Every structure is written in C-alpha cells, then in structure tokens.
Amino acid sequence: MSDPFNPRRFGAMLVKESLQIVRDPSTFLIAFVLPMLLLFLFGYGVNLDTARSRVGLSLQDNSGAAKSLAGSFQSSNWFDVEQTGTVSQLAPEMIAGRIRGIIVIPDGFGRQVAKGGGEIQVLTDGSQPNTASFIGAYAEGVRATWAAARARDRAALKAPPIQTASRFWFNPELKSRYFLVPGSIAVVMTMVGTLLTSLVIAREWERGTMEAIMATPVGMSEFIATKVVPYFLLALVSMALCAVIAITVFGVPFRGSPFALFAIASAFLFPALGQGLLISAATKNQFVASQVALLSAFLPTMLLSGFLFEISSMPKPIQALTYLVPSRYLIPQLQTVFIAGDDWSLFLPNMAVLTGFGLLFFFLAVRATRRRIA
C-alpha cells in the first residue's frame, strides 16, 4: 500500500531522475544533437520552392513573333534555357535528366499569331509530376504575358476596366522554409517527448531497480509523475532552442507570442510523454520500446501529420487515420504562431484534443505500470 503524496519523497525522486538524465549522454544526444541535425536538414536540405527550371528550346519558325517569344523564354525568371535545337536533339537530354522539359515553338507560329492565335508545345518529364506541372503552367504564363504585351504594343487590346492583383498573406515570397522549419519542431518534440520517455520505465526494469522502487511506499501515479516532469522541462528547453535557431539562423518570422508557443508545446507534450510512458511500461525493454516509439510516433509525424504531405490529397481511409496522430493537431498551430500570429480560435480546439489524447495515454500508462513483478 502506498503512502499519501509526500513532497519530500517526490522531490528526492525528481532529483534522482534528473541525475540519471545528466549521467546518460544518450539523453542529451537525442534531446539536443539530433534535433539540431533535423532542423538543419529540413531548413537547408529539404526545399519545396520552385527554382529556375532547366529546359530546352526548339525554335522551328523564323518569324519575328517566334523569335520574340523565344527571347521571352530566355529572359524569364522561371526558366534556364540551357540548350536549343530540334526535339530529336533535345529528347536525350531530357531523358538523361539534364533538362526538365522542351518548349517547342512550331513552324507556322508567326502565321497563327497574325490570325489571332499562336500555340506552343511543352514536353515535360513525367517521372517528376510536380516539376512537370510547374513547367507547363509557367510556360503558359510566359506565353500569355508575351501575347498580352504584344497586343498592348499594337494597341489591339484596351486596358480592362477591372484588374486583379495577387497578394499572398503571411508568406509573400512563398518560401517553403517558413512552414517546413516550424513543422520540423513538431518532429523534434515528438522525438524528445515520446522516444526518450519510452526508455525510462523499461530502463528501470532492465537495470533491476524497478523491484527496489516497488518496495518503497511511492505510488504509481507519483512514480510516473517523477518520470514526466524532468523530460517535460527537457523537451521545452529543446523546443525553445529550436525556435531560436529557426528565427535567427533560418530567418523564419515569429509573429505570435512566446506564451502561445509554450502553451502549444505543453499541450502537445502531454500526449507525447504519455504515449512514451505507455510504450515503456508495456514493453519493459529499451530496444523494443525505442522501435515501437519510432513506428508509432516518429513515422506518423513525418508521414501522416500534414508536415510534408497534404492530408487533403491522401486517400479517404488514410485521412481518417490521421485523426489518431497527435502531431496532426500540433503542426498547424506551430505554423500559425510563427507565420501568422496568435489565433486562439485555432489553438484552443486543437489543444483540447491533445489534452484528451494525453489523459488517455496517462490513464493507460498508470494501468500498465502495476506494483508487481511480472
């Protein structure tokens, strides 16, 4: 039978757990070194921005209109026209990956323009669908811009009474780094929160100290609390360090408040720590616990949270599965607090869901951590 809560005993166990963290170099490796590597990897190595695409240009018409359009492609900010020639000459270059598409200005293009038409052909590498669609869209944009400028020069097109101007809120330059880096902080928090805590109870079983803890009057809820608090603080420190690097090194804007950031992080760490403790209590083996944590927390955060892949583009059954991934509710909050600012109408419902996940995981962790040797 365990004694009622004793602050002195609780403090002593907190000191014991903190000393155990300090003496274990792998803890700092996972809490600080690996997060920094991940942050720099996603900040510099992963880039979803559309840069200048390497294309070939096949000019099959000698008219002034065809040469003018060819000049527009060569001076475009979206294309790097590396080679010119016939389609048969450029096709091997595209197959080899040295160019990503071929823009064909066909024979008779000048006559078509004189009649009010003018079509071009865009051949793209379908093995990279996103790049292929970008090249097709940008090629059409260059052609349309050229046609409009040509019509204005000839006074054939009057200025429309209504003109549209595009404006991108929060991320005017459309830099993918601005949402990848905040999203990577969710991956870091998952690693620190779930992976580290998945080892703590399993470590006690492997080292044979769990039996000694069971002989003490400490309750299981009190025991679990002493395991949670040090890793909760450690995860907050790791998150704060990542946020500082995101702002100072990668230039990600931070338009929210530190209070909102720490509130969001705390809400997510509740289920992350609870899941880790549940895994640790159920497996009682550090190697098995680490593998289960990677499969059940790290990989879903990477693949099913909306971090790299849009959830709306996934099949319906997979979309339904994403509702069981806690990081799905964290990443929109992190991206919003960094790029847009505080939006508590978004934060509070997601924080409530995360709290529900946390209560469930901690309840199961307490049930799985029983005062018996089995």
The pTM assigned to this predicted structure is 0.75
Query: Residues 267, 354: contact at Cβ < 8 Å?
Result: yes
Q: Show pLDDT as tens, one digit a residue, over the chain (374 residues).
A: 455 667 777 788 888 778 877 888 778 888 888 888 888 888 887 766 666 788 889 888 888 888 888 888 888 878 888 767 788 888 888 888 888 888 998 888 888 888 877 788 888 887 777 778 888 888 888 888 888 777 766 654 455 555 556 666 777 766 778 888 898 899 889 988 898 888 887 877 777 676 666 666 767 777 788 888 888 999 999 999 999 999 999 889 999 999 999 999 999 999 999 999 899 888 888 889 889 998 999 899 988 998 888 888 889 999 999 999 999 999 999 999 999 889 999 999 999 999 999 999 988 888 887 644 44
Question: Please, is 1 exposed, middle or buried when counting C-beta atoms within 10 Å of its C-beta (0-12, 13-18, 19+)?
Answer: exposed
**Same structural domain, 360 and 218:** yes
- CATH number, domain with residue 82: 3.40.1710.10
pLDDT at 366: 82
Give how many domains the chain has, as a whole number: 2
**Same structural domain, 104 and 226:** no
User: What whole-number distance in Å separates Cα of residue 351 and Cα of residue 272?
Assistant: 13
Residue located via tokens 């979803």: 48
Residue 200 is assigned to a structural domain of this protein: yes
**Same structural domain, 40 and 63:** no
Residue 70 is assigned to a structural domain of this protein: yes
Task: Please report the DSSP string for 186-240 in residue order.
Answer: HHHHHIIIIIHHTTHHHHHHHHT-HHHHHTSS--HHHHHHHHHHHHHHHHHHHHH
Enclosing H/E stretch for 57: strand 53-59
State which residues form the domain around 69: 53-153
Residue 105 is assigned to a structural domain of this protein: yes
**Same structural domain, 19 and 58:** no
Q: Which CA distances in Å does 362 have to 41, 134, 220, 297, 368?
A: 33, 47, 11, 16, 10
Residue 4 is assigned to a structural domain of this protein: no
**Same structural domain, 333 and 262:** yes
